[in-house]
């Protein structure tokens, strides 16, 4: 029987918030100097006609979701246009259910068709938008849907992933690996989540390819905005204990040297944990193996401090069917860009991947389902950042607190654009400033994602688009 708590979307709006980096970020083959964040609202109504609004936000990180020959500006413009297409599609979507059920239905039925329609246009046939890009655009709406359900039900969203509110168990969405004894019948997301969730998390700092480690590395005029630039200063100010090293993936000598340099700074300053991220640029496992073996033989302490290796290989696992067991035999190997759904996680497990890096920017729905499938099959988890500022930071931290990652959460918006989050930081200071190597989530409370939006003083621009019906007092322009 349908539940009275079931909801359906009835209106959606989208706002674009440009953000400028204080320092550049080397991302794969590109240097990023800014990004546009998509903030959306989604109104929902339940079967009794009651309505509520939820909010979601994500950076439209074109460099991450859509590497290619088009300019950054062209790719970002397409992402923004697709968000407007999605706003209308979400407002018109008539599916009732728990937000995980509605989000799953939208991703299975509407999103592929909308992406196909876009990519059939002549301008897109030479450079089609990837599925990962479509997911990132969709993620803000999906987050808003989950938040709206919590607002209407009057409870934190993570308290709703139970049989009390959901119409289907996990077997409705996914099947176990054939070589496992896993069964999803009678299981719900809450069975795989952490309760109570921790209020503090170890935090990872991103060491970008252009980031100076000390004064000798710094070139050009110093940034004078009151925030650190040098790695040594960040470690001292924030008490960091976890460093994520961005690598090139196409220059073995440079990558090895970068790990050694960062590793030696970490050793000197008492930072115990490292991870290395190749950002999908490697095509041969031996590239990674040579680096790891060289570290093991030359600098065993640095090798031992590497907790895991993140996504060296192209994210399309079906196209790049690479057996990665030789890498995961040396270090835990985590999927990131590849892990955009449980079927891809299942394929990754067959190929030898041992862990999954989750992101809210691949949708809250997908992150929850992916976490459940991975944990059921003994895969370990991390929660990785898309340099989430402002509102995007809160569901990101909430996901990390509830899925039980191997070591805290990555958070680097405070490195690249800290001041843009000042209105949110006034309400949630522990989320936007790292102290003693941790984030403090104790300010998050209330329904939905616990944003406490009525206390955040932020003036939004006019909406770029709005569709659907909502209370007259909140009509869209």
Instruction: Give yes or no for a contact between 139 and 361, defined as CB atoms under 8 angstroms apart.
Output: yes
Sequence-separated (6 or more) residues with CB below 8 Å from residue 4: 46, 47, 48
Domain total in the chain: 2
- CA–CA distance, 441 with 99 (Å, rounded to integer): 24
Instruction: Give yes or no for a contact between 162 and 188, defined as CB atoms under 8 angstroms apart.
Output: yes
Can you give the pLDDT at residue 220?
62
26 strand-pairing partners: 31
- Which is more confident, 340 or 224? 340
Average pLDDT, the chain: 95
Same domain (yes/no): 100, 24: yes
- CA–CA distance, 248 with 263 (Å, rounded to integer): 17
pLDDT at 28 over 80: no
The enclosing domain of 284 has a CATH number of: 3.20.20.120
Same domain (yes/no): 87, 200: no
Same domain (yes/no): 247, 272: yes
Of the chain, the end-to-end C-alpha distance in Å amounts to 38
Instruction: Give yes or no for a contact between 355 and 406, defined as CB atoms under 8 angstroms apart.
Output: yes
pTM flag (> 0.75): yes
Q: What is the mean pLDDT of residues 94-106?
A: 97
Can you give the pLDDT at residue 471?
66
Same domain (yes/no): 154, 242: no
For residue range 57-82, list pLDDT tens digits in order.
999 999 999 988 899 999 999 999 99
The answer as to whether 212 is a domain residue is yes
Q: What is the mean pLDDT of residues 82-105?
A: 98
Can you give the pLDDT at residue 2?
84
Same domain (yes/no): 253, 200: yes
Sequence-separated (6 or more) residues with CB below 8 Å from residue 112: none
Same domain (yes/no): 348, 276: yes
Express as a percent the part of the chain with pLDDT over 90.
88
Q: How would you classify the pairing of strands 438-440 and 200-207?
A: antiparallel
The answer as to whether 272 is a domain residue is yes
Can you give the pLDDT at residue 221?
64
For residue range 241-256, list pLDDT tens digits in order.
999 999 999 999 999 9
Same domain (yes/no): 377, 310: yes
Same domain (yes/no): 232, 309: yes
pLDDT at 315 over 90: no
Structure tokens, 366: 């997908």
Can you give the pLDDT at residue 164?
96
The answer as to whether 183 is a domain residue is no
The answer as to whether 335 is a domain residue is yes
Can you give the pLDDT at residue 122?
85
pLDDT at 477 over 50: no
Can you give the pLDDT at residue 54?
98
Instruction: Give yes or no for a contact between 429 and 438, defined as CB atoms under 8 angstroms apart.
Output: no
Structural domain of residue 339, as residue ranges? 189-448
Can you give the pLDDT at residue 472?
55
The enclosing domain of 124 has a CATH number of: 3.30.390.10
Same domain (yes/no): 244, 124: no
Same domain (yes/no): 265, 136: no
Same domain (yes/no): 113, 227: no
Can you give the pLDDT at residue 88?
98
Same domain (yes/no): 53, 154: yes
């Amino acid at each position: 029987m349908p539940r009275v708590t079931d909801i359906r979307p009835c209106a959606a709006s989208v706002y674009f918030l440009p953000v400028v980096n204080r320092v550049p970020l080397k991302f794969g083959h590109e240097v990023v100097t800014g990004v546009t964040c998509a903030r959306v609202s989604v109104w929902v109504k339940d079967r009794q006609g009651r309505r509520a609004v939820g909010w979601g936000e994500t950076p439209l990180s074109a460099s991450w979701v859509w590497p290619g020959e088009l300019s950054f500006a062209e790719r970002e413009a397409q992402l923004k246009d697709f968000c407007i297409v999605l706003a209308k599609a979400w407002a018109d979507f008539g599916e009732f259910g728990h937000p995980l059920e509605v989000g799953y239905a939208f991703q299975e039925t509407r999103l592929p068709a909308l992406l196909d329609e876009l990519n059939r246009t002549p301008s897109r046939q030479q450079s089609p938008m990837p599925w990962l890009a479509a997911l990132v655009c969709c993620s803000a709406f999906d987050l808003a849907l989950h938040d709206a359900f919590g607002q209407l039900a009057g409870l934190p969203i993570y308290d709703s992933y139970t049989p009390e509110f959901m119409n289907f168990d996990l077997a409705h969405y996914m099947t176990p690996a054939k070589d496992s004894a896993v069964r999803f019948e009678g299981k719900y997301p809450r069975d795989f989540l952490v309760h109570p969730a921790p209020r503090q998390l170890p935090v990872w700092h991103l060491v970008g390819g252009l980031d100076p480690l000390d004064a000798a590395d710094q070139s050009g005029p110093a940034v004078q905005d009151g925030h650190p630039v040098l790695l040594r200063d960040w470690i001292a100010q924030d008490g960091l204990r976890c460093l994520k090293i961005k690598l090139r993936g196409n220059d073995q000598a440079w990558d090895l040297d970068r790990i050694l340099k960062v590793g030696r700074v970490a050793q000197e300053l008492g930072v115990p944990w490292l991870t290395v991220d190749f950002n999908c640029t490697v095509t041969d496992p031996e590239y990674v193996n040579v680096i790891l073996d060289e570290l093991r033989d030359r600098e065993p302490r640095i090798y031992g401090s590497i907790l895991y290796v993140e996504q060296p290989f192209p994210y399309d696992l079906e196209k790049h069917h690479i057996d990665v067991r030789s890498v995961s035999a040396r270090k835990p190997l985590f999927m990131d860009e590849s892990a955009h759904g449980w079927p891809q996680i299942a394929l990754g497990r067959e190929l030898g991947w041992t862990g999954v890096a989750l992101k809210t920017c691949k949708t809250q729905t997908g992150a929850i389902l992916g976490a459940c499938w991975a944990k059921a099959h003994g895969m370990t988890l991390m929660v990785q950042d898309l340099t989430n500022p402002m509102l995007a930071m809160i569901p990101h931290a909430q996901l990390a607190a509830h899925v039980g990652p191997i070591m805290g959460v990555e958070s680097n918006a405070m490195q690249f654009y800290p001041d843009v989050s000042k209105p949110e930081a006034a309400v949630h200071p522990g989320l936007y400033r790292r102290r003693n190597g941790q984030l403090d989530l104790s300010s998050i409370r209330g329904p939905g994602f616990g944003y406490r939006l009525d206390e955040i003083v932020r003036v939004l621009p006019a909406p770029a688009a709005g569709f659907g019906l909502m209370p007259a007092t909140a009509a869209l322009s």
